[in-house]
Structure 1
Amino acid sequence: MDLSELTAIDVHTHAEVSSQGHASLDEDLDAASSAYFKVEGRKRKPTLPEMAAYYRERKMAAVVFTVDAEAATGTAPVPNEEVAEAAAAHPDVLIPFASVDPFRGKAGVRQARRLVEEYGVKGFKFHPSIQGFFPNDRSLAYALYEVIEETGCVALFHTGQTGIGAGVPGGGGIRLKYSNPMHVDDVAADFPHLKIILAHPSFPWQDEALAVATHKPGVHIDLSGWSPKYFPTQLVHYANTLLKDKVLFGSDFPVLTPDRWLADFAKLAIKDEVRPKILKENAARLLGLK
């Protein structure tokens, strides 16, 4: 991966379909998510090689992951190994993260270590609302965090409201309470050397996310899942000042494209010297890319 040739690093993209055509969401949740994000006129489920081509065309790199929430949803994720193998086949543009359901217990911990040691994954995605757990539940996820911290990987947590389940009766059973970033504050305190990303503007807990990222050195914020024109004023202010070295570009592709995100970001009141930090430099440093 040649950093000098990259225009940006997108730290938040989803592998939503396996090479066998299996989707990571059931039909109801998938349809509701597409409606929520107004996904129209383009392919919702690009394959991993198609994602690589898409980002290569734009001279961008992308962190890519699945979401393993099989215990809560009954739907198997896109295999982590498949994501990692695709990244190995396209190392110029794809950066592999994994996802391990905390409810997998000791088997999940062994899986996480194997994914790092044998497949070279650089981080792990958690979606507390879909997976149905509090990030600070010591009995569930702390053994996973130990492996992630020990291996120098990144833990990326969905925070705030989610488009998954939005509009479905009862939200599809998905509970928003699990994704309050204050639960991740406990994780950051208990694992002081763990590199953490709080994903998305954390509505309705934006101030909490800013407080955690300001207070805990290892905590960063990605800006995925929202068009920049809707960013809260305080998020823009902190991105320009106290958190200018800890805010990261993320799109949430394929539900939100980097093209749309970047077009709206160009109109945002971000300082000229901060823009390259958000778009590439902060992510490159956090991910250890050279």
Structure 2
Amino acid sequence: MNLDQLTAIDVHTHAEVSRDGHTSLDPALLGASADYFQAHGHRQPTIDEMASYYAERRMAAVVFTVDAEHATGHPRIANEEIAEGCAAHPDTLIPFASVDPHKGRAGVREARRLVNDYGVRGFKFHPSIQGFAPDDRMAYPLYEAIEELGAVALFHTGQTGIGARVRGGGGIRLKFSNPMLVDDVAVDFPDLRIILAHPSFPWQDEALAVATHKEHVYIDLSGWSPKYFPPQLVRYANSLLQDKVLFGSDYPVITPDRWLADFAALDIKETVRPKILRDNAARLLFRENDK
């Protein structure tokens, strides 16, 4: 991947459908997400289509699914399929995986295999959908493996559109996505690179506090149009956290075209824009092993 030729690196995109048409989550939950984002009619692109989309824009993209089979009963899209699809487009796509922490030692073995055999660079956690608190010791063997492997742990934080307005929220508990629950993880695994995904409504200040205090905690800006960003997030992105904030869209429910158009109107210093759009992610995802 030639980083110098990229205009941006999108650190947050979803593989929503497999080669055989299997969706990443139950259709009712995905439908609720479409309602929440007013994204009805958006296509669920294949990995190859995602690669074409980002290559046309001279961007790279991190791609992952969510493994929440324990809590939802819905089988995931295979991590291997996503990694192989990304490997076919190495100039554009960056493979992440998702392993449900409830899988215990089997999940740890899978994580090691995915990094060593498939080139996976990080792991997506969605505590609310997966039904666990990030500081639950159940997940610690998995974090230990990810840290040792030099991979990244990306945690959904804040409210989620998945399950929104469904009866009982589809069983999804928002409390598990408070970013303060990730603070213990950052303490107990000090070399683990962590991304707090999304403006963390209603816990934005907690996310800023953790990212400011912990050396290897970053924030991605996915899931919201920049015109709705809380003012304190913009202020910190322009100053104390200018080296730790990352562009992410949440594609396909939010496209990078829409996100970038709104970001252009945001009051961000010109010296900071390239850091958010590309440089911070490049340093995080393609760093040499410096532990």
Interval containing the TM-score (normalised by the shorter chain): over 0.9
TM-score, normalized by length of structure 1? 0.98
Question: Deviation digits for residues 33-83 of structure 1, max 9, x if unmatched?
Answer: 11111114431x111111111101111000000100000011111110011
3-state SS of paired residue (1:162): coil
3-state SS of paired residue (2:141): helix
3-state SS of paired residue (2:248): coil
Paired residues for 1:188-203 under 5 Å? 188-203=186-201
Residue 120 of structure 2 corresponds to 121
Partners in 1 of 2:4 and 2:217 — Cα distance?
26
Question: Which residue type is aligned with residue 173 of structure 1?
Answer: G
Question: Deviation digits for residues 78-128 of structure 1, max 9, x if unmatched?
Answer: 110011001110001000000000011110110000000000100000000
CA drift of 1:211 comes to 0.2
CA drift of 1:289 comes to 5.9
Question: Which residue type is aligned with residue 39 of structure 2?
Answer: V
Question: Which residue type is aligned with residue 150 of structure 1?
Answer: E
- Of the three residues 144, 147, 154, the one matched with 1:146 is 144
3-state SS of paired residue (2:28): helix
Residue 172 of structure 2 corresponds to 174
Residue 50 of structure 1 corresponds to 49
Residue 165 of structure 1 corresponds to 163
RMSD: 0.9
1:16 aligns with 2:29: no
Question: Which residue type is aligned with residue 109 of structure 1?
Answer: V
Question: Deviation digits for residues 171-199 of structure 1, max 9, x if unmatched?
Answer: 10100000000110000000000000000
Question: Which residue type is aligned with residue 47 of structure 1?
Answer: T
Question: Which residue type is aligned with residue 175 of structure 1?
Answer: R
Question: Which residue type is aligned with residue 233 of structure 2?
Answer: L
Residue 76 of structure 2 corresponds to 77
3-state SS of paired residue (1:24): coil
Question: Which residue type is aligned with residue 131 of structure 1?
Answer: Q
Partners in 1 of 2:165 and 2:56 — Cα distance?
34
Partners in 1 of 2:41 and 2:23 — Cα distance?
19
Unaligned runs of 5+ in 1: none
TM-score, normalized by length of structure 2? 0.98
3-state SS of paired residue (1:110): helix
Question: Which residue type is aligned with residue 36 of structure 1?
Answer: Y
Partners in 2 of 1:2 and 1:48 — Cα distance?
20
3-state SS of paired residue (2:109): helix
Question: Deviation digits for residues 208-237 of structure 1, max 9, x if unmatched?
Answer: 000000000000000000000000000000
Residue 94 of structure 1 corresponds to 93
Residue 132 of structure 1 corresponds to 131
Partners in 1 of 2:48 and 2:282 — Cα distance?
22
CA drift of 1:4 comes to 1.5
3-state SS of paired residue (1:87): helix
3-state SS of paired residue (1:141): helix
Question: Which residue type is aligned with residue 209 of structure 2?
Answer: A
Residue 39 of structure 2 corresponds to 39
Residue 265 of structure 2 corresponds to 267
Segments of 4+ moved more than 6 angstroms = none
Q: 1:200 to 1:193 in 2, by over 3 A?
A: same
Residue 30 of structure 2 corresponds to 30
Unaligned runs of 5+ in 2: none
